[in-house]
Amino acid sequence: PSQKEPGPPGPRPFPVVGNLLQLDLKQPYNTLMEYSKQYGSVFTVWLGPKKVVVLAGYKTVKEGLVDNADPQQVRFLLCPGVVWSNHEPWRELRRFTMTNLRDYGMGKRACEDKITEEAQYLCNVFKNFKGKPLDTTQPMNQAVSNIICSMVYGSRFEYDDPKFVTLVSDANRIMRIGGSPSVQIYNMFPWLGRLVPKRNELIKLKEKNENQNRQFFKNLRETLNPQMCRGFVDSFLVRQKKVRLTEERVPDSPFDEDNLLQTALQLFAAGTETTATTLRWGLLIMAKYPHLQDQVREEISRVIGSRQVLTEDRKDLPFTDAVIHETQRIANIVPMGLPHRTSQDITFQGHFIKKGTTVFPLLTSVLYDESQWEKPHSFHPAHFLDKDGKFVKRNAFMPFSAGRRICLGEGLARMELFIFFVTLMQRFRFTAPPGVSEEELELVPRVGLSLNPTAHELCAVPCL
């Protein structure tokens, strides 16, 4: 490909600000959806001085991330803001992290037990409200965060432990302000620096979070027993020791302090908000559509009653499974995916894209693709059911993205969503608070790094 070949079309950029003034900064993915109608499935936008190529629609996103993932053709690498970004060790760190998470329970019976146990703690919190309205945010974040804690540090926390309360609420705040318009503007114009108050708050919160993690690592290092690793951090420390012994042979080892910190923080950032938010969307949707909630509860009580739910029950609970999938589709919590970057000059669908260009796989456009879904803008569990009520997979179900950098926690997240959701449905009926009608429960997202439901309360009315 030559430089002369035209790049993807797009709205005309203004000097300095690019297309910023045309974007709805609270919901940039909506503006990008509009552009895709006008400019097609591969188009260019300028976020301030940064050129971004957007991929839109199931066919194009799949082609970009999966079909052309061959190094000779299109290949996108991640991503500023998340570790394993620009430098090579992401490959080794990703492999190490996946193997370890598997060892510490991901995808195994032990993991099911851990999630079930945590779901019981969560139920106890809900029960204490005795059916009165509650905001599910904090207990849900704590329950999901504890799954990551036990995998990363090797132990869970009590919900009233002040250290844990701070850890979880700070992480939540980081995600919220990290996606705020003012921080987005700062990312595009870093020279604004301290003039952006939210950026200062973000930096303080991140430092606090990092220091707390360093303290946890110190305690773990002091009590480390290489024969009995308690979690991911222990394995990392053991691996680090091994590397030190052979240092001369591995000069660029990725197993250093900074990568330990960044990897642990990444697991919290990527693994808590996302799953907790999806579950909160699920409960809100159930409260909004009580007839669907009745169907879910009927299926669960007919198939498993009140016994502990296991992953293998999923195949016998097709309606419940369809509701969970449809929740992930409609909630669309990572609307623009995570940014990727081209690793070489490429020609994609006839457009020239230069090496190093940022690429957004616009996941909204896949999850709401009108050529793929019968009712893209409604909550319609039948998207995932055949005429006999059996569960069917759909290709355009891509909330975890696709290809080589697909979400590393997909297996864990799917297990958590299923076990937490079914356990909660076994124990409670979720309803709108007194005086609020189901129509008034809004399915409108609030701005943040992931799409959260707008602040709301629900009643968890015990069933047993």
The region of 167-175, 183-191, 195-203, 394-402 touching ligand HEM under the rule CB under 6 A is: 394-402
- Which of 56, 324, 362, 412 binds ligand HEM (CB under 6 A)? It is 412
Is residue 84 a contact residue for ligand HEM (CB under 6 A)?
yes
The least distance separating ligand HEM from the CB of residue 266, rounded to whole angstroms, comes to 5
Is residue 274 a contact residue for ligand HEM (CB under 6 A)?
yes
Q: In what order do the strands lie in the sheet with 458-462?
A: 133-134, 458-462, 428-431
Query: Helix or strand or coil: residue 385?
Result: strand
CA distances from 87 to 74, 83, 364 (A): 19, 9, 28
Q: Which is nearer to ligand HEM, 17 or 82 (CB)?
A: 82
Q: What is 67-102 written as a DSSP string?
A: IT-STTS--EEE-TTSSS-SSTTHHHHHHHHHHHHH
Strands 76-78 and 340-342: antiparallel
Is residue 451 a contact residue for ligand HEM (CB under 6 A)?
no
- Which of 43, 216, 373, 400 binds ligand HEM (CB under 6 A)? It is 400
User: Amino acid identity, residue 82?
Assistant: V
Is residue 364 a contact residue for ligand HEM (CB under 6 A)?
no
Is residue 401 a contact residue for ligand HEM (CB under 6 A)?
yes
Binding residues for heme: 407
Q: Exposure pattern of 286-321 as b/e (b: 16+ CB <10 Å)?
A: bbbbeebbeebbebbeeebeeebbebebbeebbbbb
Is residue 324 a contact residue for ligand HEM (CB under 6 A)?
no
Is residue 405 a contact residue for ligand HEM (CB under 6 A)?
yes
Is residue 275 a contact residue for ligand HEM (CB under 6 A)?
yes
- Which of 77, 229, 309, 413 binds ligand HEM (CB under 6 A)? It is 413
What whole-number distance in Å separates Cα of residue 376 and Cα of residue 370?
6
What whole-number distance in Å separates Cα of residue 65 and Cα of residue 42?
13
Is residue 266 a contact residue for ligand HEM (CB under 6 A)?
yes
The region of 33-41, 203-211, 262-270, 317-325 touching ligand HEM under the rule CB under 6 A is: 262-270
Using CB positions, name the residue nearest to ligand HEM.
Answer: 409
Binding residues: 407
Is residue 332 a contact residue for ligand HEM (CB under 6 A)?
no
CB atoms under 10 Å from CB of 375, counted, come to 10
Angle (nearest 5°) at CA 422 between 455 and 366:
65
Contacts with ligand HEM, 417-436, as mask; x by CB under 6 A: --------------------
The least distance separating ligand HEM from the CB of residue 105, rounded to whole angstroms, comes to 11
Distance of CA 44 to the CA centre of its chain: 25
Is residue 337 a contact residue for ligand HEM (CB under 6 A)?
yes
Q: Which is nearer to ligand HEM, 90 or 196 (CB)?
A: 90
* Binding footprint of ligand HEM, residue count (CB under 6 A): 27
Place of tokens 């045309």: 22
Q: Which is nearer to ligand HEM, 78 or 168 (CB)?
A: 78
Is residue 448 a contact residue for ligand HEM (CB under 6 A)?
no
What whole-number distance in Å separates Cα of residue 412 and Cα of residue 394?
20
Is residue 235 a contact residue for ligand HEM (CB under 6 A)?
no
Query: Helix or strand or coil: residue 53?
Result: strand
- Which of 77, 78, 283, 323 binds ligand HEM (CB under 6 A)? It is 78
Is residue 408 a contact residue for ligand HEM (CB under 6 A)?
yes
- End-to-end CA separation in angstroms for the chain: 66
Strands 445-446 and 358-361: unpaired
Footprint of ligand HEM (CB under 6 A): 78, 82, 84, 94, 101, 266-267, 270-271, 274-275, 278, 333-334, 337-338, 361, 399-401, 405-409, 412-413
